[in-house]
């Protein structure tokens, strides 16, 4: 199939899964992007009028509690920018740009390769404002106030690109969260100063814009962030703004009811967004407008979401990297869930995940769909893949997310053969297009998951498409033996499973030609052995931090000639 035809058919497949109401929303957004620049002055006036109508700033205890949640998340991400940002030096996504002064910031800077300028988004999110004002309230407030004129001059609605970048509703939501939290937590002596009025006025602008541009056509984490931002702003007012209350009530079902499984997994299936959902729900539970039943459901969702986050966390205190996830977008799990009990065997059927854990060994199996059908843009083809850790050391890793920008790197990171689930050469269960479009797709299913009376934990997943089927069973025993058994129903095809092992693990015994190696890292020793397959090594790489590659060894497991299955046995030997 030629490239043009592939793009067209993939796009058509993607569109076929989007509900009509969401398609209309996408069309309306595109129309807005094209037409507002033609009437930018009147649009600014309308936003300004709406901004002026909000009640006065007067946060109470609920606002303080919600703002404290945001401050924890911002501190984890923005501490590296304090105090550097005061001189115009910013680090986002593991890249640093020094503008040479806060008055020389270029809000249109291209810091990323490709089409997705996520660094620029982070600059425009103003998250550093919250953390800076935590450490230096007066200096921070003056700094933020000084940034606003340049930002508004650069992003004045006169170009359609403003709506996909600086005035993207997600960016406006992040600014609203950061600035509201900063003002709520600021010393009262700063209220009423010229700098305070400028920042509070800019905050109002963001909220007025957001109310006109909620991301109802995308839903899920985007709409969730929109609503949590509106909720925090509403809590900061003398009276909860009716227009904000209406927006929250109108979209309650789309977020609280539809975005999560009963097991608490955020249905886009990225553990990075799972963590951010904890922030959102903790804010939303403080809102005073809910019915008793709605409040009960928010509390129930929050409890399950926190439980799922703990279950999706490995021994290094960071979530798994399945789908679009990386380290550094939020706090370590122990900071989000302080005092949380360790989680053992845990089944998340709605999310399609199973955690197997005993002592220092943790593994998570992905046996679910690529994501929600209407919006699977953050999904990777990591069907039946696992991630595992021994103590604080990751042992089997996901290729991760190096970049959102469309192209070969993005395609490769999301591809089936890049993950460690059993795969078949030359086939693909998912069609990807650009940064986030997903055309034809299929779903893995969780066949069984159980823990026996003897403590033996097991789970089995299956994937079938295009006349072939693959299956993976994993078993963890109390004596720290983890067995992976893969099976392929694909006659005549080349079959394999490709496990990425971080380069920090050193081979200290054995050889893959013998079907056995012993690895060591930081005092931990593990044996990897195949009882019925063949092993080989290849060079690999993975990315747990956006824009950063790390070296890895690819351990390739394949069935022996004439067989349809192969297994890998991992035994934790303990300290070196």
- CA 99/CA 401 separation, integer angstroms: 27
Confidence at residue 386, expressed as pLDDT on a 0 to 100 scale:
99
At 2 the pLDDT is 65
What is the rounded average pLDDT of the residues 66-83? Answer: 98
Q: Are 333 and 275 in contact (CB under 8 A)?
A: yes
pLDDT at position 462 over 60:
yes
Those residues whose C-beta lies under 8 Å from the C-beta of residue 482, and which sit 6 or more positions away, are 356, 361, 363, 388, 474, 475, 476, 569, 570, 571, 572
On the question of pLDDT at 342 being above 90, the answer is no
pLDDT bin (cut points 50, 70, 90) of residue 396 is very high
Q: How confident is the model at residue 29 (pLDDT cuts 50, 70, 90)?
A: very high
- pLDDT at position 46 over 60: yes
Starting from the edge strand earliest in sequence, which strands make up the sheet with 346-348, in order? Answer: 346-348, 353-358, 361-366, 386-390, 393-396
**Mean pLDDT score across all residues of the chain:** 96
Task: Evaluate whether 366 touches 460 at the Cβ level (below 8 Å).
Answer: no
Greater confidence, 492 or 159?
159
Token pair of 406 as six digits: 């469309």
Residue 7's pLDDT band, with cuts at 50, 70 and 90, is: confident
In the predicted model, is pLDDT for residue 197 greater than 70?
yes
Take residue 96 and report the two structure tokens written for it.
């640093």
Is 255's pLDDT higher than 70? yes
pLDDT tens profile 365-395: 999 999 998 889 899 999 999 999 999 999 9
Tens of pLDDT, residues 126-152: 999 999 999 999 999 999 999 999 999
Question: What CA–CA distance (Å, rounded) separates 560 from 495?
Answer: 10
| pLDDT of 576 over the 80 cut | no
pLDDT tens-digit map of 412-445: 999 999 999 999 999 999 999 888 998 889 999 9
Predicted model pTM:
0.96
Pick the CATH number of 346-575 from 1.20.1370.10, 3.40.710.10, 2.70.98.70, 3.40.50.300: 2.70.98.70
Confidence of residue 555 (pLDDT cuts 50, 70, 90): very high
- The model's pLDDT over 351-366, given as tens digits with 9 standing for 90+, comes to 999 999 999 999 999 9
If you average pLDDT over residues 491-518, what whole number do you get? 95
> In the chain, where are the structural domains located?
26-218, 346-575
- The answer to whether residue 1 scores a pLDDT higher than 60 is no
Give 11's pLDDT tier (boundaries 50, 70, 90). Answer: confident
pLDDT above 70 as % of the chain: 99
- Position 33 scores a pLDDT of 94
Collect all residues with Cβ–Cβ distance below 8 Å to 125 and sequence separation of at least 6: 171, 174, 175, 178
pLDDT digits (tens, 9 = 90+) for 113-126: 888 889 999 999 99
The upper half-sphere exposure of residue 383, i.e. CA atoms within 13 Å in the direction of its Cβ, equals 28
What pLDDT does residue 115 have? 82
Distance CA 43, CA 266 (A): 35
């Amino acid at each position: 199939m030629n490239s043009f035809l592939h793009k067209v058919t993939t796009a058509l497949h993607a569109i076929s899964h989007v509900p009509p109401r969401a398609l209309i929303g996408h069309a309306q957004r595109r129309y807005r992007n094209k037409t507002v620049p033609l009437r930018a002055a009147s649009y600014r006036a309308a936003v300004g009028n709406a901004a002026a109508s909000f009640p006065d700033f007067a946060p109470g205890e609920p606002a303080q509690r919600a703002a404290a949640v945001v401050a924890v998340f911002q501190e984890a991400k923005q501490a590296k920018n304090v105090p550097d940002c005061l001189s115009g030096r910013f680090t986002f996504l593991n890249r640093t740009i020094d503008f040479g002064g806060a008055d020389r910031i270029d809000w249109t800077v291209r810091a990323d390769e490709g089409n997705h300028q996520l660094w620029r988004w982070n600059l425009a999110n103003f998250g550093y404002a919250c953390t800076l004002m935590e450490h230096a309230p007066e200096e921070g407030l003056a700094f933020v106030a000084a940034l606003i004129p340049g930002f508004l001059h650069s992003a004045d609605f006169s170009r359609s690109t403003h709506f996909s970048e600086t005035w993207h509703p997600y960016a406006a939501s992040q600014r609203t969260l950061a600035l509201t939290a900063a003002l709520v937590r600021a010393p009262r002596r700063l209220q009423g100063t010229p700098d305070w009025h400028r920042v509070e006025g800019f905050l109002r602008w963001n909220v007025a814009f957001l109310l006109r541009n909620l991301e109802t056509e995308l839903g899920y984490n985007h709409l969730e962030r929109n609503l949590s931002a509106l909720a925090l702003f509403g809590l900061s007012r003398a009276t909860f703004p009716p227009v904000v209350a209406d927006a929250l009530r109108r979209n309650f079902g789309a977020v609280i009811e539809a975005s999560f499984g009963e097991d608490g997994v955020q249905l886009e299936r990225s553990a990075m967004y799972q963590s951010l959902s904890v922030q959102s729900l903790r804010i939303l539970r403080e809102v005073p407008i809910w019915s008793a039943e709605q409040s009960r459901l928010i509390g129930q969702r929050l409890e399950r979401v926190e439980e799922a986050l703990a279950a999706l966390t490995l021994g290094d205190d960071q979530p798994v990297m399945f789908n679009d996830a990386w380290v550094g977008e939020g706090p370590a799990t122990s900071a989000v869930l302080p005092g949380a009990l360790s989680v053992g065997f845990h089944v998340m059927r709605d999310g399609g995940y199973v955690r197997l854990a005993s002592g220092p060994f943790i593994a998570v199996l992905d046996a679910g769909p690529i994501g929600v059908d209407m919006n699977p843009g953050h999904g990777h083809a990591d069907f039946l893949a696992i991630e595992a850790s021994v103590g604080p050391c990751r042992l089997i890793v996901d290729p991760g997310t190096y970049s959102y920008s469309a192209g070969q790197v993005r395609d490769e990171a999301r591809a089936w053969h890049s993950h460690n689930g059993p795969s078949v050469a030359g086939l693909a269960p998912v069609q990807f297009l650009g940064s986030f479009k997903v055309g034809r797709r299929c779903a893995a299913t969780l066949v069984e998951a159980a823990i026996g009376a003897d403590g033996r934990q097991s789970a089995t997943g299956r994937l079938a498409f295009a006349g072939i089927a693959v299956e993976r069973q994993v078993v963890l025993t109390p004596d720290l033996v983890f067995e992976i058994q893969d099976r392929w129903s694909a006659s005549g095809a080349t079959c394999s499973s490709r496990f990425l092992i971080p380069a920090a693990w050193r081979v200290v015994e054995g050889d893959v030609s013998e079907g056995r190696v012993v690895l060591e890292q930081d005092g931990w020793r593990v044996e990897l052995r195949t009882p019925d397959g063949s092993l080989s090594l290849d060079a690999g790489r993975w990315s747990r931090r956006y824009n950063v590659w790390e070296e890895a060894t690819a351990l390739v497991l394949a069935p022996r000639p004439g067989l349809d299955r192969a297994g890998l046995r991992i035994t934790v030997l303990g300290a070196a």
